[in-house]
Amino acid sequence: HVQLVESGGGTVEAGGSLRVSCTTSAVTFDNYCMAWFRQASGKEREGVAAIRRYSGTTFYADSVKGRFTISRDLANSTLYLQMNSLKPEDTVMYYCAANVPIQLGAVKYCQTAREGTWGQGTQVTVS
């Protein structure tokens, strides 16, 4: 059962950049379909970006396409989300997830029979 720990959240001015990280306990990190979700208080959790296992192909929600980049460091079993041109509406909790189905537009990714795992979240505030 992989463990996920997010870090790197904080406060940034609108138009600025921030990178959040997700450190995992995975031994074979490329065997996991990884994703970032976000959730505002009182709202449903929404998918932000996903990176497919093995191939590393990336996918994004329309709301962040061109501004956010998901990436992974296989040597350190770490997932990243680089966020540029941040907007006040990006102010939410960000969660990383392993093998959790994620809906991005009309397509659902990371659909697997394997058990999904969530991190505890990291807060991003854009002022």
27-81 pLDDT, tens digit per residue, is 899 999 999 999 998 999 999 999 999 999 999 999 999 999 999 999 999 999 9
CB 3 within 8 A of CB 116: no
Confidence of residue 120 (pLDDT cuts 50, 70, 90): very high
Reported residue count of the chain is 127
pLDDT classification of 112: cutoffs 50, 70, 90: confident
At 89 the pLDDT is 92
Q: How far is CA 66 from the centre of its chain?
A: 15
Task: Using alpha carbons, list the distances in angstroms from residue 96 to 14, 15, 27, 80, 127.
Answer: 23, 23, 17, 9, 23
